Amino acid sequence: MFRDAWLIAGKDLRIEMRSRVGLNQIVPFAVTVLVLFAFALDTDQEALRTYAPGLFWVTVLLASLLAIGRSFAVDLADGAADRLLLSGIDPISVFGGKAAAIAVQLVVLEVLLGAGVVLLFDVTVHRYGLLVCAGLAAAAGVATAGTLYGALVAGLGVRETLLPLLLLPVVAPVLIGATRAFQDAFGVAGAEGWAWLGLLAGFAAIYGVFGALSYGALLEEA
């Protein structure tokens, strides 16, 4: 099971490294969104610093929609999705593999965007441990929920517009939790960062289990 998940994740990541869609399109898109936020907030350095955590996570969520959509588009492009069904790989492994690949991409995105936030919005990090853990847990949560919803809308023909509508309300708790944790880590508000980390981890766990259990039912048909 883990071997197959590893195989799927490796395949997805290798494709992303080769195609460079993430590096050439998704990351620039995310940075553009950050810059637009700065314009919208009228170069008020203090406001930017205060809202940096929220802006950061809104940006990550928007960019994650692209990464999730792409993960499924790659399989659907030339019939590989059918072959995956025919390969006999356990759906749980497919779910795990795809979610892991998306999570890795999100972590890379977070690192790059985090650097952007530190540079552009002039924030200072106070608690590195919390920052790293919250980043990882949030990436896992978005990746598991995103993979589940990506599969839900894959092949329905309208996924580009449907995925945001379905996924964004569902990941709202991640936005709340991750923003609070980052506020604590950046020292802009005295939130209980570690408690919020618990929420993020719980979210990832629930969607991980739920996705793994229902993925087979979703893939059963063609």
Does 15 interact with another protein (rule: CB under 8 A)?
A: yes
Choose among 51, 56, 59: nearest CA to 189: 51
Question: What distance in Å separates the CA atoms of residue 29 and residue 59, rounded to the nearest whole number?
Answer: 9
- Cα separation, 7 vs 38, in Å, equals 41
| Member of 52, 152, 181, 188 binding another protein (CB under 8 A) | 152
Q: Considering only residues 148, 181, 185, 201, which one is a binding residue for another protein as defined by CB under 8 A?
A: 148
Q: How many residues does the chain have?
A: 222
Listed ranges 44-52, 60-68, 152-160, 182-190: which one lies at the site for another protein (CB under 8 A):
152-160
For 162, residues 6+ apart whose C-beta sits below 8 A from its C-beta are 153, 156
> Which residue is associated with the tokens 């209980």?
192
In order of 32, 56, 133, 217, the CA distances from 175 in angstroms are 20, 10, 15, 28
77 near another protein (CB under 8 A): yes
| Binding of another protein by 142 (CB under 8 A) | no
Task: Please pick, from the candidates 125, 170, 194, 205, the single residue that binds another protein as defined by CB under 8 A.
Answer: 170
Q: Does 82 help bind another protein (rule: CB under 8 A)?
A: yes
Binding to another protein, residues 85-104 (CB under 8 A): 85-89
With binding defined as CB under 8 A, does residue 218 bind another protein? yes
Q: Which residue has the tokens 């690949």?
A: 101
Closest separation in Å from C-beta 46 to another protein:
21
